Amino acid sequence: MTSKERGIQRKRKALLHAEQTRHVAKTCRYFGIGQASFYRWKSAYRECGEKICRFQYSAIDDATRVRAIKIYEKHTQASAIDFVDHIIGKFSFRIKEIRTDNGHEFQAKFHWYVEDKGIRHAYIKRVTPRLN
């Protein structure tokens, strides 16, 4: 059993224990976790269930409509940076600008990485998902 599987099993046991005892504070004490972590696990389990959550990153060229898609298990700046490297290798043309929403994965570290590659990074207007 991998460490990831052990972690999932531990979380599942904590959620089951809380459901049976109907007492979150005692469950958290018993498993040695904070209540914030417990509720984060609970909401993630409610969203994803047994399957692992996955995040899709996609890029579409405005001129040619060429697309690139890649799936990640984590929604982080490291994933976004890896996706930039993926599209630079996939597209046969030079990328001049990348437009993103204001998500946490596209903040400082991502922004400066893209700028260092010689690509302009622009944020779309807030509350306008149609531009995304």
Using N-to-C axis directions, what is the helix angle for 24-31 and 35-48, rounded to 10°? 100
Q: What is the pLDDT of residue 53?
A: 65
pTM of the model: 0.63
Q: What is the pLDDT of residue 94?
A: 92
Q: What is the pLDDT of residue 10?
A: 85
Query: Do residues 67 and 60 make contact, with C-beta atoms less than 8 angstroms apart?
Result: yes
55-131, superfamily in CATH? Ribonuclease H-like superfamily/Ribonuclease H (3.30.420.10)
* Averaged pLDDT, groups of 10, the chain, 132 residues long: 76 89 91 89 77 80 90 89 94 92 90 95 83 68
The Cα 2–Cα 119 span in angstroms is: 39
Query: Do residues 121 and 114 make contact, with C-beta atoms less than 8 angstroms apart?
Result: yes
Q: Token pair of 119, please?
A: 């690509």
The full 3-state SS of 93-108, as one line of letters, equals: CCCCEEEECCCHHHCH
Q: Where are the domains of the chain?
A: 3-48, 55-131
The Cα 11–Cα 14 span in angstroms is: 5
Q: What is the pLDDT of residue 50?
A: 62
